[in-house]
Amino acid sequence: MEQPHPQPPLNQQPSPPHSQPPPEEQPSLTSSISQLTPSNPSKIPVRPQKIRKLSSPPTITTTTVQVKPQSTPTPTSATKNRRRNPSRSPLNIPKVNKPLSTPGEISAAINHLRSADPLLADVIDNHPPPSFDSNQPLFLALTKSILYYQLAYTAGTSIYIRFVNLCGGENGVVPETVLSLTTQQLKQIGVSGRKASYLYDIANKYNSGILSDESLVKMDDRLLFMTLSMIKGFGSWSVHMFMIFSLHRPDVLPVSDLGVRKGVQLLNMLDELPRPSQMEELCGKWRPYRSVGAWYMWRFAEGKGGSGNGSPV
């Protein structure tokens, strides 16, 4: 920038051609320099720098101001819409599959399991198809689950028969009748004090309207699991058994049941019992009929000498 402005030395020491402007522009520059030299030779190199500094900033500011507002609103609005849409769909539209007691559902489940898991196809061929045809009132089924829990089948059956006789028959097993029984009466038929408190808790929830047979039938699987887990004495295993054998829900996987875990271990030839997370992964191919797949695992484990976790037959 400083070489084109000196006055006499330009003709004596020419600079290399690549540092000079094109030949057409040389006469104009030399003439302008010759006109400006007698007035202010020291200010000549300063003025073009100021002009260039003033001319460059507006171009930079205009481009940055125009680009930023156009790029920021579009992705934020798109991402907000993407986040809102999936969160609304499962809440507004709960999906409840047909119960397994619906005609044709067992056949559909078996056909799906055959094609989805070739290992399970051999188990299906060696066992009769399951049946889910119990039509007990749900309150009776809940009390029955409490009475049978952690008991052998024969011991649970004897206590259940005494309990039904105490209520005046299965039709008499209603919340009002259960609340009218004393803990002493229940102890006389073999019901422990803890299980008696569980029976009272179910009856109170029905009387207050928290639970009802109609509401339990209409709930989707996730809400049903959360609601039943609030009942005293109802863990995940009890909830899964109730969902499969009382409500006939088709896509329930009892990951904590020993019989189902043993069947999955034998089916996949594992060295150890699968953990709940492994159960979800190995049995994911059975969706949306994991309840039927679990039923075959019970039968498969029993045939191989395994034992279940008190799973109802």
Query: pLDDT (tens digit, 9 = 90+) per residue, 128-179?
Result: 999 998 889 999 999 999 999 989 999 999 999 999 999 999 999 999 999 9
Please report, for the domain that includes residue 109, its CATH number.
1.10.1670.40
Q: Specify if 189 maps to a domain.
A: yes
Which position has the higher pLDDT, 94 or 211?
Answer: 211
Q: Which of 89-93, 202-206, 306-310 has the lowest mean pLDDT?
A: 89-93
288 backbone dihedrals φ, ψ, rounded to 5°: -100, 35
* Predicted confidence (pLDDT) at residue 57 exceeds the cutoff of 80: no
Residue 198 shares a structural domain with residue 291:
no
Which position has the higher pLDDT, 19 or 204?
Answer: 204
pLDDT at residue 135, as a whole number: 87
222-276 tens-digit pLDDT? 999 999 999 999 999 999 999 999 999 999 999 999 999 999 999 999 999 999 9
Q: Specify if 28 maps to a domain.
A: no
Q: Which of 88-92, 122-126, 159-163 has the lowest mean pLDDT?
A: 88-92
* Cα gap 290→249, rounded to integer Å: 9
* Cα gap 140→229, rounded to integer Å: 17
Please report, for the domain that includes residue 231, its CATH number.
1.10.340.30
Task: Identify the domain boundary among 247, 279, 299.
Answer: 247
Task: Identify the domain boundary among 232, 247, 262.
Answer: 247
pLDDT at residue 53, as a whole number: 45
22 backbone dihedrals φ, ψ, rounded to 5°: -60, 155
Residues of the domain holding 224 = 135-247
Residue 140 shares a structural domain with residue 232:
yes
* Cα gap 33→248, rounded to integer Å: 99
Helix (H, G, I), strand (E, B) or coil at 132: coil
Contact 150, 310 (CB under 8 A): yes
* Predicted confidence (pLDDT) at residue 283 exceeds the cutoff of 70: yes
Residue 173 shares a structural domain with residue 223:
yes
* Cα gap 150→190, rounded to integer Å: 13
Q: How many domains does the chain have?
A: 2
State mean pLDDT over 100-112. 95
Q: Specify if 160 maps to a domain.
A: yes
State mean pLDDT over 23-51. 45
pLDDT at residue 199, as a whole number: 98
Residue 127 shares a structural domain with residue 151:
no
Task: Identify the domain boundary among 195, 224, 247.
Answer: 247
Residue 189 shares a structural domain with residue 262:
no
pLDDT at residue 234, as a whole number: 93
State mean pLDDT over 92-111. 80
State mean pLDDT over 52-78. 46
Q: Specify if 16 maps to a domain.
A: no
Identity of the highest mean pLDDT range in 12-21, 34-43, 193-202: 193-202
Q: Specify if 211 maps to a domain.
A: yes
Contact 183, 167 (CB under 8 A): no
Q: Give me the chain's average pLDDT, please.
A: 78
Residue 294 shares a structural domain with residue 153:
no
Per the structure block, which two tokens stand in for 173?
């097993």
Residue 125 shares a structural domain with residue 257:
yes
Q: Specify if 66 maps to a domain.
A: no
Residue 271 shares a structural domain with residue 191:
no
Residue 160 shares a structural domain with residue 304:
no
Q: Specify if 11 maps to a domain.
A: no
State mean pLDDT over 98-104. 93
Contact 116, 286 (CB under 8 A): yes
Q: What percent of the chain has pLDDT over 90?
A: 64
Residue 167 shares a structural domain with residue 307:
no
Q: Specify if 117 maps to a domain.
A: yes
Residue 110 shares a structural domain with residue 159:
no
Size of the chain, expressed as the number of residues it contains = 313
- Give the ranges where 72-167 is alpha helix by DSSP (H): 73-92, 105-116, 118-125, 138-148, 153-167
Residue 160 shares a structural domain with residue 239:
yes
pLDDT at residue 256, as a whole number: 93
DSSP annotation string for 247-290 = S--SS---TT-HHHHHHHHHHHT-SSPPPHHHHHHHTGGGTT-H
Find how far residue 15's CA is from the centre of its chain: 74
